[in-house]
Structure 1
Amino acid sequence: MLLRQVGREWGRVSAEPDAWRSALPVDPDVGSYPEPAQIVPARFGRFVKIAPLVGVPGRGGARGREREAAGRAAQARDTALPGGFSTRVRRAVLGAPLRSTAIARERMRKLVALPVLSADALSSVAYGPEALITVLVLAGTAGLAYSAPVALAIVFLMLAVGVSYRQTIRAYPHGGGSYIVATDNLGRVPGLVAAAGLMTDYILTVAVSVSSGMAAVTSALPGLSDDVVLIGVLVIAVLLAGNLRGVRQAGALFAAPTYAFILAIAVLVAFGLYHAAGRGFEPVPTPPPHAAEGVGLLLVMRAFASGSTAMTGIEAISNAVPAFKPESWRNARTTLSWMIGLLVAMFAGTMAMVHLEGVVPRSRETVLSQLAHRSFGDGGLYVFTQAATALVLLLAANTAYNDFPRVLFLLARDNHAPRIFTRLGDRLAFSNGIILLSVAAAVVYVAFEGRTDALIPLYAVGVFLAFTLSQSGMVVHWWRRRDRHWRKSLCFNATGALLSALVFVTAGITKFTEGAWVAILAVAGFLLVTTRIRRYYDRVGAALRLRPQTIEIPSGTLPPPPETCAPARAAPPRRAAGEGAAPGDGADSEAEDTPEEIRHLSVVPVDALHQASMRALAYAASLQQPVLALHVSPSDEDAERFREAWLLWGDHLPLRIVVSPYRAIVAPLISYIESLHHQRPDLTITVIIPEIVVRHWWHRALQSPLAGRLRRALRHLPKIVVTSVPFHVQDGRRPNL
């Protein structure tokens, strides 16, 4: 193999591996992160504190404890350094960077998971029935007569798709979103189309939820109607800030709005049925609507497509199966059944009340507000209903802030999106995906002036495109596996796929001129961009692949001189603030006057063994100073695979693997380098980054700017040098040597 061949070439010119290990002036084992099972989040937080990587407890005796105490004192001093104005504003708005935290995966009970994961689906009752009636009323009284049959068809669709997703949960117990299911069973392009539908759905979820929430508010406070666009944009900005800060969705705090909305609809339907029983369930005559068009199949299908938007968010539970307590898949299926039951009951109850009360849509008041006015008047129950509706719609918008960045992360992991979307921000959230979602949702919201009826035609296309591909993928899944009860599962998923496809085609045709063309165009543009990005990453990967004719090896390296590389004495502790030195003055750590007094350590972060990383390792070894290779792995399995490749290469340089089970890669890298600095404050640490240099400026966004991030994160520490070894790529095809 090429790795073994490269290793033999290294062995000809490099010192023995034991010589490099004995030359290290630090102990590379500075500690490890706890196991995920040991991490328990706070009651209303998604983060937990863990010990910084400053040493392994119980090792090193008194000298080790002194070094650890010195490291903690140095760290406290370093983190106290003041930042600029922009840094202070950022911390005031978003909070301090979580340098010593990790994401803890929360395991939710069914009673908590139900409101948290069902907010999007259940809140659609606030606008789904109204969207249906808005289309039928165009044909006057004759059109409204079709409301009950169309509502029954939508109820059947809810049941069919709900049962279909129960099969998805059984087949994908670790989470089976539309992108994963379609990619696994239908191929890359259908998977990308499903992802496009999902991302369109999430953007419109924010826009529609905010517009519907504003409609609920302005129905109770008509004086705010003229400012609905401005207020809606401010609401999106608040959602952006909250999610960048790391607001968690789970827990009683975020479950309350959903349960309040369920209670409000239940009380509203109960009051309405009680009043209707007093008149023998005789429907109240509707105001004579002006018919703008005749009743026909096209009108009925448009109403069916619009009302079907009440099903948005059904797939949320199948995406989040690992978030449930064991048995996860069984609890997820039970919760999905509860959600479908509640959704059917709330939708059917609302439609029954619309029919019995003779309510038709108005421009200044929602249908739900009209029903609440007739049942409760202007009293406290009316205010409670409108407040619960507005809150659950905002919670539904916040649901998209979890799912949209997650889909972007999966796309970036598969090289279909820029790799910046795999990065966690200061608050351990996918900040770039959150910002992109907020900007896109705000643009859509402003472009359609915050009108829910104008946004609905775009909504159905993305939702049912993802449903169709996901359920079609499940049909292929069962056909291939043919395990127990596969025929029954295939039948359920085929029914869901057929009905979802029917709604998708209907929405695309009947609402094309009303705005559905925008969603279809967005899907096509997304497919074009993601395939071009994947093509670029494939070309760069080919350029980085090891080749016999371009083996990167150091030229004539020698073991570092004994007087500079022998394990050094533990450095005297740095003076803490208040012990004769001002914080950050660096008087005792940057006092070398001659080159001979500087002690070096080169740290080379290595993500994989390819041309760029080999060039960086060769450069570091050729400096004839101690070298430590560092690999941060997201799992034990990935760490073992990298270790096997390293041993196959020949294990020529010291290697330290840090397993970070919290999805973050850069943050543990920074923490490890800081720990080495705190262990030996007198040491000059040079971080050598392999950097891919692309030819075109528009390709820069597709590369992760690791060197710049490390410089910004480590600039407050003295004696840390960050340098990069460039690897030039021409057109993504071949290296420029």
Structure 2
Amino acid sequence: MIEKLRKIILGKPLKTSDLHGEKLGILWGLPILSSDAISSVAYAGQEMLLVLIPMIGVAAYGKMSLLSGCIIGLLLVLMLSYRQTIDSYPNGGGAFMVSKENLGNTAGMVAGAALAADYILTVAVSVSSGVEQITSAFGGLQPYRVMIASALVILLMIGNLRGIRESSKVFGVPAYAFILGILILIIGGAIKLQNGYIPKEPNFEKPLGAISLLIMLKAFASGCTALTGVEAVSNAVPNFKDPSTKYAKTVLLILSMIILLLFGGTSVIANYYHVIPSEEGAMLILIAEEIFGHNFFFYYITTTTFVILILAANTAYTGFPMLIAVMAKEKYAPQQLSMRGDKLSYDNGILLLSAVSALLIIGFQANVTSLIGLYAVGVFISFTLSQSGMFIKWRRERSKNWHFKAAINGFGALLTATVVVIISIAKFEEGSWIILILIPILVFLQMKVYVHYVAVKEQLKIKGSEYETADLSKLEYHNKIIVPIESVNVASVRALRYAKTICEEVTAFTVVMSEEEGKIILEKYNKLNTDIPLVIKLSPYRKVVEPLIRFIESAEYDHTPGDMITVLLSSFVVRKWWHALLHGNTRKYIEKKLLKHKHIVVSNMPLQLKDDHYFQKHLASKR
């Protein structure tokens, strides 16, 4: 029943070979990876006004335009910097891989933690902001905003679980519709002013005092949320068709031009239409109401703004799973996060992102102003580490035009480091301190995960001399048994040796997701010098149990009715409870499936691992 419901919601599974067809071009890659940055047009200017208006009244609009110009200049520097990152790191991972390879493992973990936190906040802020926009137009929905926001996160999760290409078409059209809507707003507002319209001046409360540097920096920090999402393109380069780097750089360039036009244009329009944003009315909606009244264009802009803010979270749904998968492959996150699901998406990363974002929305009651204090700190930390790493890379390699490249990244690192300090100080009381504490905690957890995986690998690895002592042909065998192996390691060899003591006929069996993986396993297996045959089955749908069942019941295995088949599963036992969370539950899944067949006996051959502390000392001695 659950499997049928899953297929109805997510659709038919895809083969591993279908991955190439799931990759993105410019047309659909642009809206999917730029929705976050484009959507910030809807709230970045508003957040600056919310800081400035209480202090200086009508003068806030001019200051907002000035700060917007600074932010756009910073955007252009980041665009040039990240184009170089895309060229140098086409396999994705962005700031995490740049920092890890050029600044060291600790810097890589800090960049990874900062980016992961930013992606989670992107979902929470974007969805909450979208709900705020729609409740501005329809006040009766205000009491239900947390419920609406949580439901929207679930819908985004389902949409992304359906696969990269399918979700890009579903979520891509609204992004283009929003861009068109904001262009209509800017042009419509300019035409109305040109025709002699004089906007009404609102009744400002008496300003609290003169503008100070701290207030300007605080407003600038709020406006810098317009730059979140710029890094997403470099994180997701593998999601593009070949040549992936060319497509990614083109998307990044177009994205920068769109933000320049939309963010700059709305800042100029806001300088003439002096609306006062509040919880009851968002800036863009109030401007649209003054320009168009309550006609079609007003509702079009309201609707597309709401939708793009919700779908801005989709940038995080593209970037976060890819980032966390790269981190998992480097052993800094649970390995389950690097596995693709039925639709070739990183399902576990999508589920993790949705769960944590929903908790934030509920905890902060979908309040954008409360969440925005936590926002942007993480992404600017990753900006700084990424640009610093690239600067070190150019100085070390000294390749062609390295002086020019180093100058771009060095200048970018200096600017973004300054912004980190500004945001941290200006937004400290609003919650930026939470991120500054959270990142070291996440780095500590990454280190614990890394040490555990290294400890497991060291204990399972067969060293050169041990291949000779693992000669399985010297042992007699008496019974019939199948030993499924995931790889050639200490645990699987131990299971094969044991199988030969209790069986007359032993067969090793493995399932691979690609032919290359099969060749690697076969090459290692041949070193064992054993007469136990190894059967390799390709599983394009990434299934494990089904190929094993088909093999047992096929003529290839020479199985006859009445035969009892023993399936001996190799496994290892970890020392601590949380270690178990870092490893897949494949053994229990296989056991549960196989025990449904009367002629199959399932047995387990466990290997008890040592504690991680021994290998932590071993790692320290290597350094």
Output the TM-score relative to the length of structure 1: 0.76
Aligned partner of 1:27 in structure 2 is none
Work out whether residues 612 and 727 of structure 1, in 8 Å CA contact, stay in contact via their aligned partners in 2: yes
Equivalent pairs, count:
606
Following superposition, the deviation at residue 170 of structure 1 comes to 1.8
Q: Does residue 627 in structure 1 map to residue 542 in structure 2?
A: no
Following superposition, the deviation at residue 536 of structure 1 comes to 2.0
Aligned partner of 2:475 in structure 1 is 557
Name the SS of the counterpart of 2:277 in structure 1: coil
Deviations 1:298-329 (A, max 9, x none): 11111111101111111222223333344332
> One-letter code of the match for 1:288?
F
Name the SS of the counterpart of 2:257 in structure 1: helix
| Match of residue 359, structure 1, among 275, 295, 307 | 275
Q: Does residue 136 in structure 1 map to residue 80 in structure 2?
A: no
Alpha-carbon distance change, 164 to 542 in structure 1, aligned in 2, over 3 angstroms: same
Work out whether residues 168 and 176 of structure 1, in 8 Å CA contact, stay in contact via their aligned partners in 2: no
More deviation, 674-683/381-390: 674-683
Name the SS of the counterpart of 1:104 in structure 2: helix
Alpha-carbon distance change, 293 to 672 in structure 1, aligned in 2, over 3 angstroms: farther
Give the number of the structure with larger relative contact order, counting CA–CA contacts within 8 Å between residues 6 or more apart. 1
Deviations 1:204-249 (A, max 9, x none): 1110111111012112211101111111111112223333454745
Q: Does residue 229 in structure 1 map to residue 157 in structure 2?
A: no
Aligned partner of 1:380 in structure 2 is 296
Q: Does residue 704 in structure 1 map to residue 584 in structure 2?
A: yes
Aligned partner of 2:73 in structure 1 is 156
Q: Does residue 531 in structure 1 map to residue 411 in structure 2?
A: no
Counterparts of 2:308 and 2:173 in 1: how far apart (Å)?
A: 9
> One-letter code of the match for 2:497?
A
> One-letter code of the match for 1:653?
I
Following superposition, the deviation at residue 109 of structure 1 comes to 2.9
Work out whether residues 462 and 519 of structure 1, in 8 Å CA contact, stay in contact via their aligned partners in 2: yes
Counterparts of 2:255 and 2:100 in 1: how far apart (Å)?
A: 27
Following superposition, the deviation at residue 487 of structure 1 comes to 1.6
Q: Does residue 452 in structure 1 map to residue 335 in structure 2?
A: no
Aligned partner of 2:526 in structure 1 is 647
Aligned partner of 1:205 in structure 2 is 122
Alpha-carbon distance change, 556 to 485 in structure 1, aligned in 2, over 3 angstroms: closer
Equivalent runs, 1:321-360 vs 2, <5 Å: 321-360=237-276
| Match of residue 390, structure 1, among 301, 306, 323 | 306
Q: Does residue 501 in structure 1 map to residue 380 in structure 2?
A: no
| Match of residue 254, structure 1, among 171, 179, 187 | 171
Deviations 1:691-731 (A, max 9, x none): 11123323221222221121234455553443321001242
Deviations 1:102-135 (A, max 9, x none): 6523243322222222112111111111112211
More deviation, 142-151/472-481: 142-151
Aligned partner of 1:15 in structure 2 is none
Work out whether residues 120 and 356 of structure 2, in 8 Å CA contact, stay in contact via their aligned partners in 1: yes
Following superposition, the deviation at residue 349 of structure 1 comes to 0.4
Equivalent runs, 1:601-620 vs 2, <5 Å: 601-609=481-489, 611-620=490-499
> One-letter code of the match for 2:141?
L
| Match of residue 218, structure 2, among 302, 312, 323 | 302
Equivalent runs, 1:657-676 vs 2, <5 Å: 657-658=536-537, 667-676=542-551
Following superposition, the deviation at residue 628 of structure 1 comes to 2.8
Aligned partner of 2:400 in structure 1 is 484
Aligned partner of 1:80 in structure 2 is none
Following superposition, the deviation at residue 274 of structure 1 comes to 0.9
Deviations 1:24-54 (A, max 9, x none): xxxxxxxxxxxxxxxxxxxxxxxxxxxxxxx
Work out whether residues 92 and 322 of structure 2, in 8 Å CA contact, stay in contact via their aligned partners in 1: no
Aligned partner of 1:694 in structure 2 is 574
Equivalent runs, 1:516-527 vs 2, <5 Å: 516-527=432-443
Aligned partner of 2:191 in structure 1 is 274
Work out whether residues 113 and 250 of structure 1, in 8 Å CA contact, stay in contact via their aligned partners in 2: no
Counterparts of 2:529 and 2:139 in 1: how far apart (Å)?
A: 74
Structure showing the higher helix proportion among its residues: 2
> One-letter code of the match for 2:475?
T
Equivalent runs, 1:82-93 vs 2, <5 Å: none
Following superposition, the deviation at residue 406 of structure 1 comes to 2.3
Alpha-carbon distance change, 91 to 723 in structure 1, aligned in 2, over 3 angstroms: farther
Aligned partner of 1:513 in structure 2 is 429
- What is the Cα-based RMSD across aligned positions, in Å? 2.8
Q: Does residue 265 in structure 1 map to residue 182 in structure 2?
A: yes
Name the SS of the counterpart of 1:649 in structure 2: coil
Work out whether residues 169 and 176 of structure 1, in 8 Å CA contact, stay in contact via their aligned partners in 2: no
More deviation, 483-492/169-178: 169-178
> One-letter code of the match for 1:219?
S
Following superposition, the deviation at residue 267 of structure 1 comes to 0.3
> One-letter code of the match for 2:544?
L
Name the SS of the counterpart of 1:356 in structure 2: coil
> One-letter code of the match for 1:221?
F
Following superposition, the deviation at residue 434 of structure 1 comes to 2.2
Uncovered stretches (5+) of structure 2, i.e. residues with no partner: 616-623
> One-letter code of the match for 2:75?
M
Larger Rg: 1
Following superposition, the deviation at residue 430 of structure 1 comes to 3.1
Name the SS of the counterpart of 2:609 in structure 1: strand
Q: Does residue 190 in structure 1 map to residue 107 in structure 2?
A: yes
Alpha-carbon distance change, 89 to 608 in structure 1, aligned in 2, over 3 angstroms: same
Name the SS of the counterpart of 2:508 in structure 1: strand
Alpha-carbon distance change, 155 to 549 in structure 1, aligned in 2, over 3 angstroms: closer
Following superposition, the deviation at residue 669 of structure 1 comes to 2.9
Work out whether residues 164 and 345 of structure 2, in 8 Å CA contact, stay in contact via their aligned partners in 1: no
Counterparts of 2:25 and 2:165 in 1: how far apart (Å)?
A: 15
Q: Does residue 722 in structure 1 map to residue 602 in structure 2?
A: yes
Work out whether residues 35 and 308 of structure 2, in 8 Å CA contact, stay in contact via their aligned partners in 1: yes
Name the SS of the counterpart of 1:208 in structure 2: helix
Work out whether residues 128 and 310 of structure 1, in 8 Å CA contact, stay in contact via their aligned partners in 2: yes
Work out whether residues 553 and 614 of structure 1, in 8 Å CA contact, stay in contact via their aligned partners in 2: no
More deviation, 150-159/271-280: 271-280
Counterparts of 2:458 and 2:23 in 1: how far apart (Å)?
A: 41
Q: Does residue 316 in structure 1 map to residue 232 in structure 2?
A: yes
- Percent identical among aligned pairs is 35
Following superposition, the deviation at residue 440 of structure 1 comes to 0.9
Work out whether residues 694 and 732 of structure 1, in 8 Å CA contact, stay in contact via their aligned partners in 2: no
Counterparts of 1:445 and 1:688 in 2: how far apart (Å)?
A: 46
Deviations 1:486-535 (A, max 9, x none): 22121111222221111111111111111111111221110111111212
Following superposition, the deviation at residue 437 of structure 1 comes to 1.3
> One-letter code of the match for 1:608?
V
Alpha-carbon distance change, 718 to 126 in structure 1, aligned in 2, over 3 angstroms: farther
Q: Does residue 104 in structure 1 map to residue 19 in structure 2?
A: yes
Deviations 1:359-391 (A, max 9, x none): 222221100101110111111111111111122
Aligned partner of 1:178 in structure 2 is 95
> One-letter code of the match for 1:621?
K
Alpha-carbon distance change, 366 to 297 in structure 1, aligned in 2, over 3 angstroms: same
Work out whether residues 482 and 509 of structure 2, in 8 Å CA contact, stay in contact via their aligned partners in 1: no
> One-letter code of the match for 1:369?
I
Alpha-carbon distance change, 635 to 334 in structure 1, aligned in 2, over 3 angstroms: same
Name the SS of the counterpart of 1:723 in structure 2: strand
Counterparts of 1:99 and 1:111 in 2: how far apart (Å)?
A: 23
Following superposition, the deviation at residue 554 of structure 1 comes to 5.6
Following superposition, the deviation at residue 334 of structure 1 comes to 1.9
